[in-house]
A and B are shown apart, each in its own frame.
Chain A
Amino acid sequence: GNSVTQMEGPVTLSEEAFLTINCTYTATGYPSLFWYVQYPGEGLQLLLKATKADDKGSNKGFEATYRKETTSFHLEKGSVQVSDSAVYFCALGMNTGFQKLVFGTGTRLLVSP
């Protein structure tokens, strides 16, 4: 079946450090890939997405590139801020109809001043 594997957290960084959160997937077919972010006590917000191989999704300084050859979709940001502290979820959805999502377990990011 389809699955998503994320690096375990928490990831602890100082402000302005470089961020990488690893995500790999297993899927039959050609999924769309997503990063969602969850702030404390809130629901999930879509951060970025990519729908086919070599696509790069980007938003708010975050980027992720859909790598079919390595089945990966790693999240990166060049300079994190304290306000980026949250839980980040990688997810995949098959490109058929309503795209039921399969989520990774989430990675908590803690950014200190």
Chain B
Amino acid sequence: DGGITQSPKYLFRKEGQNVTLSCEQNLNHDAMYWYRQDPGQGLRLIYYSQIVNDFQKGDIAEGYSVSREKKESFPLTVTSAQKNPTAFYLCASNDQNQPQHFGDGTRLSIL
């Protein structure tokens, strides 16, 4: 089955630590996205990538970093500079003029 796999489902971070969230897709989509979901705020775009080795900042990129070394993979690193990282993180992908498909998300909590 084609789809988007996010791992892990739950992740805990200690203060001052960087953590990396995985997103893999086997849909052969060109574009991939990372969103952050907080209660009552909907989804906000962190970073997106339309092609391998290229990515752009979204609306709330501060404290996050990404890479796109392979078409199927778009990992997100939550750095220690992100002061309020507790949230539900969603990865998505699509091709041009097509709806976005979403993974099942990773819930990040601070210890």
List A residues at the B interface (Cβ < 8 Å).
Answer: 34, 36, 41-46, 49, 89, 95, 97-101, 103-106
Contacts and interface: CB of A to CB of B under 8 A. Distances in A.
A99 B33 CA distance: 11
Interface stretch (B70-78, B79-87, B96-104): B96-104
B48 A100 contact: yes
B42 A43 contact: no
Contact of A95 (B30, B58, B97, B101): B97
Given A100-B45, A105-B42, A44 B90 contact: yes
Nearest to B56: A100
Given A42-B105, A106-B40, 5 more contacts: A46-B101, A89-B42, A97-B97, A98-B50, A103-B43
A98 B101 CA distance: 12
B104 A42 contact: yes
A60 B55 CA distance: 36
A98 B90 contact: no
Contacts of B105: 41-43
Given A97-B96, A98-B96, A100-B48, A45 B42 contact: no
Interface of B: 4, 6, 30-31, 33, 40-45, 48, 50, 58, 90, 92, 94-105
Contact of A104 (B42, B90, B101, B104): B42
What 4 A-B pairs are tightest by C-beta distance, nearest first? A43-B102, A105-B42, A98-B31, A103-B42
A43 B31 contact: no
Nearest to B41: A105
B50 A43 contact: no
B61 to A, nearest CB: 13
Nearest to B51: A98
A18 to B, nearest CB: 25
Contacts of B101: 46
B94 to A, nearest CB: 6
Nearest to B91: A43
A107 B60 CA distance: 22
